[in-house]
Amino acid sequence: MPVSTTTLILFFSIAVLLAFSLPLLAHARHITSRQLLQKRRYVILGAFVAAALLAPPDVLSQLSLALPLMVLYEASILSVRLVEKP
Q: Across 2-72, where does the E strand assignment appear? A: none
pLDDT at 52: 85
- The yes-or-no verdict on residue 54 having pLDDT over 80 is no
Amino acid at the residue 29: R
What does pTM read for this prediction? 0.72
Q: What is the mean pLDDT of residues 39-65?
A: 86
Reported as half-sphere exposure (CB side, CA atoms, 13 A), residue 86 has a value of: 0
pLDDT at 69: 82
Four-point Cα dihedral 23, 24, 27, 32, nearest 10: -50
pLDDT band at 45 (very low <50, low <70, confident <90, very high): very high
Least confident of 25-29, 43-47, 57-61: 25-29
